[in-house]
Amino acid sequence: MGKKKLLVPKEGKHYTVSDDGVLCINGVTTPPTEHCGEDKPGFDYLSLVDHSLTIEDRKEYEKKLEKQEEKFNTLVRKLEDAERAVVIVLQGRDGAGKSGAAQRMMEALGYDPKIFLWVPIGPPTQDEKAHPYLWRFQTGERMPRIGQARVFDRSWAERLLVEPVMGIIGPKTLERSYSEIRTYEWLLNRQGAVLVKLWMDISKDEQARRFEDRKKDKPWKVSDSDTIAREHWDDYTVAANRMFTYTGTPYAPWYLVNSEDKRYSRVQVLKTINRAMSAALADGFKHND
């Protein structure tokens, strides 16, 4: 996969950049089940992430984070009256801070299990392998009821990342999976879910530093997947860019957040989710209209 040449995205055609540096990729406008070039290289969106963005002052960071946490709490508690739910997808490089972002959402909601669940996704079990790959995301309490929030720490997007990189699926299955996932996300949107997909991005050097810190401070988090992530960095770059290119839609865009600086990342992840929820709550959606 790493040998495929990525295309240079044309500014304004496939993506936008917010004033605070978050890329929004939503260029796929064909019907979800139709082919839209998945057999071609993707665009090199990851090269556009600005890793220099920071929040250096601690007091400024704490003030901004508190503001976004309070807003997140308020918006989530408005979902039930609006007949909506929110589904948050966290993807990104290993070590980018996905678990930390989920932790802050849980804290912002006061650890209230009635409305919020953190759903970490690992390799499928034998039972899950015996079903179509999207089945496991609908089981148990993984998908929210109206008025609830779920944050997926990795998701169905692994189908387009880990599985092709590790040779679990071939090119034909991968090509089919893009439209299957677009259709799945379209259905979630049609049923009232506010779907917010975030890619938390760090540089290769920063990942190496975090892995070293992990060995010292959190040895229980060290695994063979850390080494694999390093060895397949370029392959994952290609896979991620193709995923953004072919599953970034108006109803389920991808948001690329610089996570090189943890303070900036924590604020921007919440801010991006809050923007998406605010827009959805303003659109007047009702199930029975």
Domain assignments of the chain as residue spans, ordered by start: 26-281
Distances (CA, A) of 216 to 27, 209, 281: 42, 11, 44
Per the CB < 8 A criterion, the answer to whether 85 and 147 are in contact is yes
CA 200 distance to own-chain centroid: 7
Size of the chain, expressed as the number of residues it contains: 289
Task: Please tell me the predicted confidence (pLDDT) of residue 5.
Answer: 61
Residue 91's beta-bridge partner residues? 199
Whole-angstrom distance, CA of residue 206 vs CA of residue 96: 9
Strand intervals (E) in 27-181: 85-92, 116-120, 149-153
pLDDT tens track, the chain, 289 positions: 434 566 666 656 689 999 999 999 999 999 999 999 999 889 999 999 999 999 999 999 999 999 999 999 999 999 999 999 999 999 999 999 999 999 999 999 999 999 999 999 999 999 999 999 999 999 999 999 999 999 999 999 999 999 999 999 999 999 999 999 999 999 999 999 999 999 999 999 999 999 998 888 788 777 777 788 889 999 999 999 999 999 999 999 999 999 999 999 999 999 999 999 999 999 888 877 7
26-281 topology per CATH: Rossmann fold (3.40.50)
Task: Please tell me the predicted confidence (pLDDT) of residue 1.
Answer: 41
For 105, half-sphere exposure in the C-beta direction (CA atoms, 13 angstrom radius) is 32
Quick one: residue 137, left, alpha or beta (phi over 0 = left, psi -120 to 50 = alpha)?
A: alpha
Nearest in space to 206 (alpha carbons), one of 46, 91, 97, 90: 97
Contacts of 38 (CB under 8 A, 6+ apart): 174, 175, 178, 179, 242, 246
Question: What's the angle, vertex CA 240, arms to CA 156 and CA 261, rounded to 5?
Answer: 100
Single-letter code of the amino acid located at 21: G
Question: What's the angle, vertex CA 109, arms to CA 156 and CA 85, rounded to 5?
Answer: 45
Phi, psi of 48, rounded to the nearest 5 degrees: -90, -10
Task: Please tell me the predicted confidence (pLDDT) of residue 107.
Answer: 95
Whole-angstrom distance, CA of residue 265 vs CA of residue 85: 24
Task: Please tell me the predicted confidence (pLDDT) of residue 148.
Answer: 98
Single-letter code of the amino acid located at 88: I
pTM value is 0.94
Q: What's the chain's Rg over C-alpha atoms?
A: 18
Residue 25's beta-bridge partner residues? 15, 254
Task: Please tell me the predicted confidence (pLDDT) of residue 98.
Answer: 96
Nearest in space to 41 (alpha carbons), one of 70, 6, 75, 11: 6
Single-letter code of the amino acid located at 211: F
